[in-house]
Structure 1
Amino acid sequence: MASLVLNETGMENCGIDDSFKYNLYGVVYSVAFVLGLVTNCASLFVFCCRIKMRNETTLFMTNLALSDLVFVFTLPFKIFYNVNRHWPFGDTLCKISGGAFITNIYGSMLFLTCISVDRFLAIVYPFRSLSIRNRRNAGIVCGIIWLLILGGGMSVTFFSSTNQSKTSTTCFEGFSKKTWKTYLSKITIFIEVVGFLIPLMINLACSSMVLRTLRRPATLCQTGTNKERVLRMIVVHLAIFIVCFVPYNSVLFIYAMVRIKALMSCWVERLARILYPITLCIATFNCCFDPVVYYFTSESFQKSLTTGKCQAMQENMLQSEGPVSSKENPDTHTAELHILTSNGKDQASETQF
């Protein structure tokens, strides 16, 4: 989270210099701004203008793209600050910019988790989940997620303010030891558990159960193309979590322990302050990687990139994205029910996914 950037010395006698982070942030934010703006604007165009038949998965993806864009639009301010090491934009934009990072990081994890759970239900429990997997429930879930991430962002940015010196004004730094010990450490741990650990466990559990379902004979008898797409989707989801989010949240937790004196070691603090800017930059690139999830998760998204025929995309949605409700896809349900009856098991065809 930008507002928890490791800028304080923590233990002043350690003599740690982490000024390299300013140049690093400037370069990474510039690249992320260009790539994130292009890819997420293109994704929103596809979701809003090219895909005419939308389901709950598309709704989760749209909200994920919006979460990324909220963060991307604040990057020019961060770029200016890290290049000039001066914040002239005022206290309000400082708070907004810090909150946007939290919204993006933890919003991405939660929306990716929703996509993973939705695919899990579509494959493992295709009929039992019909009453759950609909746009109304997906909209409620998206609303709850926005409340969580905005609430978490506001709780942290409440302590994030500009600090003026004789030569410059700083932002995202300057938290006192008392603030860390009294408020920020507790907020950090809560966000780590709700926004990172629980989504990570859910993603791992859903992925393992989907893989187990794909190994069943009734599933193996289906065509291998869609199965390969499912496997690619699982790999992409887990890769984003492991590469982008695990290092950042792990280092953030260690730093929080250092700040509340649970870990009193210059070596640990030095390691945290060196690794934190690196892991934060990697986490920043998640806004550029999320469109890869759209590509592998939704076949209609793939089709929309190569054809402008809405009818073809609608037909593809019916085949590939799974039923949204029993009223919307009666023909698909009838065909799948025949498959289930012939196999004698509660097993879904891959063509449903």
Structure 2
Amino acid sequence: MDFANHSCRSGEDLQAYQHRVYAVVYSVILAPGLLGNVLAIWVFRIYIRETKKAVVFMMNLAVADLLQVLSLPLRIYYYLNNTWPFGHPLCMICFYLKYVNMYASIYFMVCVSVRRCELIMRPLRYNSSKRKGDMFICVLGWLLVCLGCLPFPLLRNPSSSLNPDSRDRLSSEAGAPLSGPDSVCFSELPMRTVSIPAAWALLIIAELVGFIIPLILVLACSCLTAGSLREGRGGAIPDRGEKRRALRMVLSCAAVFLVCFAPYHVTMPLDFLAKANALNSCALRDLILRCHPFTLCLASLNCSLDPLMYYFTTDEFWRRLSKPEIPEMTSMTFSRRLSCITAGEEVDDEPL
């Protein structure tokens, strides 16, 4: 996929620099992402049949985040040891899960924003049939995301081994020898030969369907929800507290969206041009290759930010963690039984 005849020689520390960035950031994300999303799934499992406030979408969002978190230990091992001893199929699965998580998160954030906005604007239209429709939307979303992300692993060529010059360069940059074609993984895997029009078509579809349209929907929901809060009490939902909670949720989705996913989708086409040697400036190419790992790490940061969003914007989540209802109900039942027993004893002690 070379666009130009010239090529830039990467700095000797570029590969080592990228590995350090990935290893540090993924190590930081691992623990809070794992604990936060397991806790979120546990809480949402309790409330999924008791409330209509987009809990089913948030539960699927937590599942998507958890899938990526579970692949982080293998990524950390690779970036610390500069080799992949686990075989090519597992490499492709981890590589694939990265993009499935990112675009599934984008999809379900849009669903959460649209549902909360709809419940504020038109609450009476939500009924049991729509609750079943939400499950269908989730299944359809997973199917579309899994199919849409297939080009990412399919564009990698497992049968193509690195030539000696490339292998020596990667070995020197990583600081460790590469023992065979299966020792590299993720973005360092060789690409299949793709025509220029096909490559640009894939990029445009990914940017348009995976980022621009969802961003417009999330921002539109934020504006509509904020507008409903400024309306008088004659709106669909007179409870301003409920409107504020909905607005916090939608604004949080927009903030996570902009912080985590916007930088990556800005640098993704630039990274493609840099790796295709389509840039005349070698300094610009080196800058893009150094910035892109940070944006890719930001795209993974949502695994830790989403549980915080649940806690601070979802009253069910906060109530479940701060005031567990099961112990309260048990204590209330025990108190009632004790009062009944006490009352019965007092009746027995009264003279006839």
TM-score by length of 1: 0.77
Residue 167, structure 1, aligned to residue 167, structure 2: no
Letter in 2 for 1:107: A
Partner Cα separation in structure 2 for residue 12 and residue 238 of structure 1: 39
- 2:338 aligns with none
Indicate if the aligned counterparts of 1:185 and 1:260 stay in contact, CA closer than 8 A: no
Secondary structure class of the residue paired with 1:53: coil
Letter in 1 for 2:87: G
TM-superposed deviation, 1:224: 4.8
Are the structure 2 counterparts of residues 263 and 189 from structure 1 closer, same or farther at C-alpha, using a change threshold of 3 Å? farther
- 2:317 aligns with 301
Find the partner of 1:105 among 102, 106, 111.
Answer: 102
- 2:144 aligns with 148
After superposition, residues 25-36 of structure 1 pair within 5 angstroms as: 25-36=22-33
Letter in 2 for 1:158: L
TM-superposed deviation, 1:277: 0.6
TM-superposed deviation, 1:210: 1.1
- 1:240 aligns with 256
TM-score by length of 2: 0.77
Partner Cα separation in structure 1 for residue 295 and residue 30 of structure 2: 17
Q: Deviations over 1:101-151 (max 9, x none)?
A: 001111111101100000111111223x32697221111111121112211
Are the structure 2 counterparts of residues 24 and 259 from structure 1 closer, same or farther at C-alpha, using a change threshold of 3 Å? closer
Moved more, 170-179 or 72-81: 170-179
Are the structure 2 counterparts of residues 176 and 52 from structure 1 closer, same or farther at C-alpha, using a change threshold of 3 Å? closer
- 1:23 aligns with 20
TM-superposed deviation, 1:58: 1.2
Identity of aligned residues (%): 33
- 2:153 aligns with 157
Structure 2 portions without partners, runs of 5+: 168-176, 330-352
Partner Cα separation in structure 1 for residue 76 and residue 257 of structure 2: 25
- 2:42 aligns with 45
Indicate if the aligned counterparts of 2:106 and 2:210 stay in contact, CA closer than 8 A: yes
Q: Deviations over 1:274-297 (max 9, x none)?
A: 110111111111011111232244
TM-superposed deviation, 1:42: 0.7
TM-superposed deviation, 1:46: 1.0
After superposition, residues 89-238 of structure 1 pair within 5 angstroms as: 89-127=86-124, 129-130=125-126, 134-160=130-156, 163=161, 167-168=178-179, 169-172=183-186, 173-176=188-191, 178-179=193-194, 181=196, 183-218=198-233, 222=238, 224-238=240-254
Secondary structure class of the residue paired with 1:74: helix
Q: Who wins on radius of gyration, i.e. which is larger? A: 2
Are the structure 2 counterparts of residues 186 and 98 from structure 1 closer, same or farther at C-alpha, using a change threshold of 3 Å? farther
Are the structure 2 counterparts of residues 290 and 244 from structure 1 closer, same or farther at C-alpha, using a change threshold of 3 Å? same
Secondary structure class of the residue paired with 2:113: helix
- 1:72 aligns with 69
| Aligned residues: CA RMSD | 2.9
Moved more, 285-294 or 80-89: 285-294
Letter in 2 for 1:167: L
Are the structure 2 counterparts of residues 133 and 234 from structure 1 closer, same or farther at C-alpha, using a change threshold of 3 Å? farther
Letter in 1 for 2:66: L
Structure 1 portions without partners, runs of 5+: 1-9, 314-353
Secondary structure class of the residue paired with 1:175: coil
- 2:172 aligns with none
Partner Cα separation in structure 2 for residue 144 and residue 201 of structure 1: 21
Find the partner of 1:13 among 2, 8, 15.
Answer: 8
Moved more, 173-182 or 101-110: 173-182
Partner Cα separation in structure 2 for residue 75 and residue 155 of structure 1: 21
Secondary structure class of the residue paired with 1:141: helix
Letter in 2 for 1:236: S
Matched positions, count: 304
Partner Cα separation in structure 2 for residue 93 and residue 188 of structure 1: 25
Are the structure 2 counterparts of residues 48 and 114 from structure 1 closer, same or farther at C-alpha, using a change threshold of 3 Å? same
Residue 59, structure 1, aligned to residue 70, structure 2: no
Q: Deviations over 1:158-214 (max 9, x none)?
A: 133555657331011143483474655433332221111111010011111111111
Q: Deviations over 1:28-70 (max 9, x none)?
A: 1112111111100111111224665253611101111110111
Indicate if the aligned counterparts of 1:11 and 1:266 stay in contact, CA closer than 8 A: no
